[in-house]
């Protein structure tokens, strides 16, 4: 259902609005003619918000106020990095589990509950028994982050069973495509190292990953919004992934080649708290949402590399870095 087919614009609460996906979604929703209400402890540039106390998903009064007049909630707010969750498990549980519980309680107290989209993760599956992984695969997360997302899913399912509104659980794979992404994530880390001819540290060269471009992730969420606005009820869950796998070692090689880098690729042991490999089966998202990823990995990587090069010396990991080192790629 397009904006033109609706009688009015939607007002949507977007928690985690300053994260990578949140920033992209905020712009996409506004461009579609809807009103995206940002809700985040941080400003869009990642700095601590001056109104952080009033935009904490763990504070029920703040969330009750935020959901008062919205048609739906896109709940992205989370400690979304596995390493950060392992370092501070209590904080990860507080934000990812108790924050989700608070959002759902605020919706319940409103009476006429809006629909909700909950951002989950491929990490709920743990080690894959077979590839591609379907939504019916056993859920056995290995790390704190995956476990917290599974508990969040369980809360959403229980809430959905008592409400006359819809809920969609979207299990996202690894996203890439934003040059302002966390620099320690695998794609930004590889590109940054390659552009500076530093060593590419590959933690598990044979680990299979499924990379989805940020633009495709945004289109999936917009499709989920259309599904819920059209009247979907109950709770459904679906993978949001590319459906194609790539070894981490091959990813490093592709990025090294695409940047013309002289970096050394150094193989290391896999990260212990993440899965041994993942490729998402996306048939359900195609069937229920009419969604398919559009951006091939090589095209997406070239585009992202160009954005890093364009920002050389001015921002992100290249602030102050000599721009002449990038002239061959401009």
Q: What percent of the chain has pLDDT over 90?
A: 77
Q: What is the pLDDT of residues 162-173, one digit of tens each?
A: 877 799 999 999
Any domain includes 27: yes
Buried b (16+ CB within 10 A) or exposed e, 35-65: ebbbbbbbeeeeeebeeeeebbbbbeebbbe
pLDDT at 1: 46
Q: What is the pLDDT of residues 309-321, one digit of tens each?
A: 988 744 544 444 4
β-pair type (208-209, 246-247): antiparallel
Consecutive H or E run containing 120: strand 115-121
Any domain includes 53: yes
Consecutive H or E run containing 238: strand 234-240
The structure tokens listed for 96 are 């990812």
Give me the phi and psi of 254, to 5 degrees please: -65, -45
Any domain includes 182: no
Any domain includes 309: no
Consecutive H or E run containing 11: strand 11-15
* Angle at the Cα of 121 from the Cα atoms of 112 and 156, rounded to 5 degrees: 25
DSSP string of 33-54, one letter each residue: T-EEEEE-SB-TTSSBPTTGGG
Q: Where are the alpha helices (DSSP H) in 132-267?
A: 144-160, 186-195, 214-229, 248-259
The structure tokens listed for 292 are 């398919």
pLDDT band at 95 (very low <50, low <70, confident <90, very high): very high
Radius of gyration, alpha carbons of the chain? 20
The count of domains in the chain is 1
Q: Is the pLDDT of residue 3 over 90?
A: no
pLDDT at 275: 86
β-pair type (234-240, 200-203): unpaired
What is the residue range of 290's domain? 3-173+214-243+279-294
Any domain includes 125: yes
State pTM to two decimals: 0.91
* Angle at the Cα of 45 from the Cα atoms of 44 and 49, rounded to 5 degrees: 65
Any domain includes 41: yes
Any domain includes 42: yes
Question: From CA 63, how far away is CA 303, in angstroms rounded?
Answer: 37
Any domain includes 329: no
Chain centroid to CA 83: how far?
15
β-pair type (72-75, 115-121): parallel
The CATH number of whichever domain residue 227 belongs to comes to 3.40.50.720
Q: Tell me which residue of 144, 146, 145, 152 sits closest to 133, measured CA to CA.
A: 146
pLDDT band at 47 (very low <50, low <70, confident <90, very high): low
Q: Where are the alpha helices (DSSP H) in the chain?
A: 20-31, 60-66, 82-87, 89-93, 99-110, 144-160, 186-195, 214-229, 248-259, 283-289, 297-310
Give me the phi and psi of 127, to 5 degrees please: -70, 125
Q: What is the pLDDT of residues 108-154, one digit of tens each?
A: 998 777 899 999 999 999 999 899 999 999 999 999 999 999 999 99
């Amino acid at each position: 259902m397009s904006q033109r087919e609706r009688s009015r614009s939607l007002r949507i609460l977007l928690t985690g609005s300053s994260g990578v996906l949140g920033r992209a979604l905020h712009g996409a929703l506004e461009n579609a003619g809807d009103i995206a209400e940002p809700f985040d402890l941080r400003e869009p540039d990642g700095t601590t918000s001056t109104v952080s106390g009033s935009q904490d998903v763990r504070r029920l009064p703040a969330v009750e106020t935020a959901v008062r007049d919205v048609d739906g909630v896109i709940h992205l707010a989370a400690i979304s990095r596995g390493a950060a969750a392992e370092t501070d498990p209590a904080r990860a549980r507080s934000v990812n589990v108790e924050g989700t519980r608070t959002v759902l309680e605020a919706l319940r107290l409103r009476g006429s509950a809006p629909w909700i989209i909950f951002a989950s993760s491929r990490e709920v599956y743990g080690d894959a028994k077979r590839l591609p992984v379907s939504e019916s695969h056993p859920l056995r997360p290995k790390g704190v982050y995956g476990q917290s997302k599974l508990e969040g899913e369980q809360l959403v399912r229980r809430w959905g069973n008592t409400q006359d509104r819809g809920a969609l659980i979207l299990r996202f794979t690894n996203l890439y495509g934003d040059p302002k992404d966390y620099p320690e994530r695998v794609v930004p880390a590889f590109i940054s190292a390659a552009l500076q001819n530093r060593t590419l540290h590959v933690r598990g060269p044979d680990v299979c990953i499924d990379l989805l471009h940020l633009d495709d992730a945004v289109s999936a969420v917009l499709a989920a919004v259309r599904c819920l606005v059209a009247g979907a009820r109950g709770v459904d869950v679906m993978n949001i992934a590319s459906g194609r796998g790539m070894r981490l070692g091959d990813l490093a090689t592709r990025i090294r080649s695409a940047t013309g880098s002289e970096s050394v690729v150094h193989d290391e042991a896999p990260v212990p708290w993440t899965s041994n490999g993942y490729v998402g089966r996306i048939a359900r998202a195609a069937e229920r949402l009419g969604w398919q990823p559009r951006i091939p990995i090589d095209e997406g990587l070239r585009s992202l590399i160009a954005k890093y090069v364009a920002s050389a010396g001015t921002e992100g990991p290249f602030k102050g870095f000599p721009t002449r080192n990038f002239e061959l790629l401009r």
